[in-house]
Amino acid sequence: MSIRESDLYPPVKRLLEAQGYDVKGEVGALDVMAVRGAEPPVVVELKRGFSLALVHQGIDRQALTDWVYLAVPRGRRREARRNAALCRRLGLGLMEVRLADGHVEIACDPAPFRPRRFPGRTARLLREFARLEGDPNPGGRARRGGIVTAYRQDARKLAVALADGESSGAKLRRATGVVQATRIMSDNHYGWFEKVSRGIYRLSPQGVAALEGAAPAVET
């Protein structure tokens, strides 16, 4: 069944009228305008589907009032959550209309957006930034098979130091300044190291190849 924008109007009108609004359609360029006493007006833009054009329209309407909703037919839950998340960031409201029975769900109301912060993630990125030597990765580069991380730089320092022969983690830590020298060699993420005896490591054939530039790049 083909959906028309006008199919969304009756359910939206009923919802707003139930909340005490006087509702009228096609007021100027607005699809729906609702007024309740001296309160700021509510504007609703109706569309058959969520789109960037609808978002742009909603942003334009924010020049008239803070209370702007986008109304679309109810869709898939995952897509609806993403649409609601975008609307929250832009300070827009979102209505989802279930055309089968006219039920309208308010996915989000217009409100100033306050992003959730993750201090732990920020701290980890700052540590990685500080540990990286130079600027080894062009911005926008595909991550698969070639990102140089601080961990990889530390591993390479250890590999270079082991090119002269086997050594202990403690000696390598002092020689290279890599605090986690023993752990990096023990974890052996890239396959560059071989344990000779307790606390003593040497380069593996793969490590030798890495120093010669023949080993495939490995991403941490």
Query: Who has greater pLDDT, 122 or 61?
Result: 61
Does domain 5-108 bear CATH number 3.20.20? no
Least confident piece of the model among 17-31, 69-83, 127-141, 182-196? 127-141
Residue ranges of domains in the chain:
5-108, 122-211
Q: Is the pLDDT of residue 220 over 60?
A: no
What's the average model confidence in pLDDT over 89-116?
A: 89
Average pLDDT, the chain: 88
Least trusted range by pLDDT, from 56-60, 75-79, 168-172, 216-220: 216-220
Residue 214 pLDDT exceeds 80: no
| Average pLDDT rounded to a whole number, residues 73-80 | 86
Whole-number pLDDT of residue 143? 61
pLDDT at position 109 over 90: yes
The pLDDT value given to residue 1: 57
User: pLDDT band for position 119 (50/70/90)?
Assistant: confident
Q: What is the pLDDT of residue 132?
A: 86
pLDDT score at 131: 84
Burial class (CB in 10 A: 0-12, 13-18, 19+), 115: exposed
Give residue 215's pLDDT band: very low, low, confident or very high (50, 70, 90).
very low
Digit-coded pLDDT (tens) for 4-24: 888 899 999 999 999 999 999
The answer to which of 5-9, 67-71, 146-150, 211-215 has the lowest mean pLDDT is 211-215
pLDDT in tens, 175-206: 999 989 999 999 999 999 999 998 899 999 99
Rounded to an integer, what is the distance from CA 148 to the centroid of its chain?
A: 22
Looking at the domain 122-211, which fold is it? Arc Repressor Mutant, subunit A (1.10.10)
Give residue 48's pLDDT: 92
Residue 133 has pLDDT above 70, yes or no: yes
Region 19-48: mean pLDDT is 93
pLDDT for residue 188? 93
